Amino acid sequence: MNPTDIRKMVVGDLWTNSTAYENTEYVVDHFGNRFMGTESERKAKDHILGLFRAYGLENPREEPYRYTGWKRGPCKVEMTSPVQREIWAFAHPHSGSTPPGGIEAEVIDLGKGAQQDFEAHAGRIKGKIVLASTGWHPGQSYFLGHRVGKHGWTSDAGGVGLMIRNETPGGLIETGTIATGYRNTGEIPVVGLSFETGALIERQLKKGPVNVRIDMQNEVSPGTLGWNVVGEITGTKHPDRVVLVGAHFDGHDIGQEAASDDLLGAMVVLDVARALARFKGAFKRTMRFVAFGNEECLTVGSTNYVAQHENEIGNLDMMINGDGLGRWPNPFFCVNNPPELVGPLSRLVGEWKIDAAVGVSDTRNPAWCTSTDNHPFTMKGIPTMVISGRGRASALGTAGRGAAVRDHTICDTMDKIDKFVVKQYAILLAELLVALAQRDEPLIRHSSKEEVLDAVRKYGYIDALKAQRRWHPDSTLGIR
Ligand SMILES: [Zn+2]
């Protein structure tokens, strides 16, 4: 069967099924949020491996790895002066603990808490608890205000704690790891606050000094076991040339579901694999589908994947990250690296009349998004892109997350998922894969290590990577 007919059959299949949605619901309802190191994560992994088998993928397997895990313990935060008030707060994953009885310190408000805010207040941070928002400055890359950097800058300046306040009103706390979980652990206690709690503290700070006590005990778990789940459709003409598409199946634990970030993406990838697997033997290049473990703490599964497959890095044509598949409207093929990939990708999308926008980035979709699973592949010079939605940029006027951009909050739940949007993304991904798998040449060559490091320099990310404890120019992956 020719690729055009295969495409029509696959699109018809995906349009007349809600398998990705139903599988997401099943996993959420039966296993929960799949947070790192939990029974929920292990059960979801087993279930996903079963689906890979049931859908007829070749070489279905789990690929285990070990990393430094973290367990949430009790967390109590209170304002002790000028007024006494208990504060609703969650520890950020990988947050350090306080001594028993907690720490009490004066609060310093650094606004957005991006790199320049720490520089502007250097010398005033030592011994204090920093209050920063989830944001970054207008026009600036998201990466320069990333929470992992806020943690590093606070710790480097001698701050004793960090409170990250949601920029979006609505009473929700935004969570997220503050360490590179595969190798490092957090250095200081870090908690998330709602916009409204931040406003309360800000209001008191206008009148005079504010003191806060943080008392929390978390547990570091070295040697925690995690898994990537993998399946393939082998190419007939170039079996050793691989287009890899992956999305992470783990989620954050502050909600019960973590439905759309990014279980939904992983289930879209699986559904596309299911639809394409019916045409095994009709594709020139190999397609490899990966459900990554523990992206949330920070790209642990994908980093280990790249480290475990170093000897076949040269065979990967491209890595497509599905962290965002089906999550927001307005699908966007966002090129990560190299930026020159936009040209050939746009031509391919044009030839095949695939209805998705192609581009490099805006401040919400930075070309160098280092906090999701394409990052370790990018650092090894593999061409990378993310499929996500532009709806996110217009959904909120702020840099925080709320009911509209709900991932990393307790309201990332099934009821927010739009079945029509999910099908749209599944179809676009399938169309792209059919087009890529028919090619005799990759779209673009790999970047050299020097080119990758030059790009990091050009984007001004070296200081931020240092603050994130992730600047390892010798190994680029950060795993030795
Ligand atoms: Zn995610």
**What average pLDDT score do residues 303-325 get?**
95
Structural domain boundaries of the chain? 3-69+222-447, 73-217
Give dist(CA 166, CA 378) in Å, integer. 29
- How many angstroms separate the alpha carbon of residue 81 from the centre of ligand 1? 37
End-to-end CA distance of the chain: 46
Residue 261 DSSP code = I
- How many angstroms separate the alpha carbon of residue 298 from the centre of ligand 1? 10
Reply yes or no on domain 3-69+222-447 having CATH 3.40.630.10. Answer: yes
- How many angstroms separate the alpha carbon of residue 263 from the centre of ligand 1? 8
Give dist(CA 8, CA 353) in Å, integer. 13
Give dist(CA 435, CA 345) in Å, integer. 10
Neighbours of ion ligand 1 (CB under 5 A): 261-262, 323
pLDDT score of 145: 86
Give the confidence band of 448 by pLDDT, cuts at 50, 70, 90.
Answer: very high
- How many angstroms separate the alpha carbon of residue 65 from the centre of ligand 1? 19
Q: What is the largest CA-CA distance in the chain?
A: 74
- How many angstroms separate the alpha carbon of residue 106 from the centre of ligand 1? 34
> Is the pLDDT at 251 greater than 80, yes or no?
yes
pTM for this entry: 0.96
**What average pLDDT score do residues 18-32 get?**
98
pLDDT score of 292: 98
- How many angstroms separate the alpha carbon of residue 337 from the centre of ligand 1? 19
**Residue 205 corresponds to which amino acid?**
L
- How many angstroms separate the alpha carbon of residue 294 from the centre of ligand 1? 9
pLDDT one-digit tens code per residue, 82-106: 999 999 999 999 999 999 999 999 9
- How many angstroms separate the alpha carbon of residue 432 from the centre of ligand 1? 21
- How many angstroms separate the alpha carbon of residue 132 from the centre of ligand 1? 22
- Contact present, 62 and 49 (Cβ < 8 Å): yes
- How many angstroms separate the alpha carbon of residue 444 from the centre of ligand 1? 26
Give the confidence band of 130 by pLDDT, cuts at 50, 70, 90.
Answer: very high
- How many angstroms separate the alpha carbon of residue 295 from the centre of ligand 1? 7
Give dist(CA 178, CA 302) in Å, integer. 18
Q: Which of residues 366 and 436 earns the better pLDDT score?
A: 436
- How many angstroms separate the alpha carbon of residue 237 from the centre of ligand 1? 34
- How many angstroms separate the alpha carbon of residue 373 from the centre of ligand 1? 8
- How many angstroms separate the alpha carbon of residue 232 from the centre of ligand 1? 23
Q: What is the mean pLDDT of the chain?
A: 93
Which tokens is 4 given? 């055009």
Which tokens is 385 given? 């892109």
pLDDT one-digit tens code per residue, 340-396: 999 999 999 999 999 999 998 655 445 566 789 999 999 999 999 999 887 665 456
- Of the chain, the percentage scoring pLDDT greater than 70 comes to 96
**Residue 33 corresponds to which amino acid?**
N
- How many angstroms separate the alpha carbon of residue 79 from the centre of ligand 1? 32
- How many angstroms separate the alpha carbon of residue 104 from the centre of ligand 1? 33
**What average pLDDT score do residues 8-32 get?**
98
- How many angstroms separate the alpha carbon of residue 389 from the centre of ligand 1? 13
Fold of 73-217: Glucose Oxidase; domain 1 (3.50.30)
145: phi then psi, degrees, rounded to nearest 5:
-120, 20
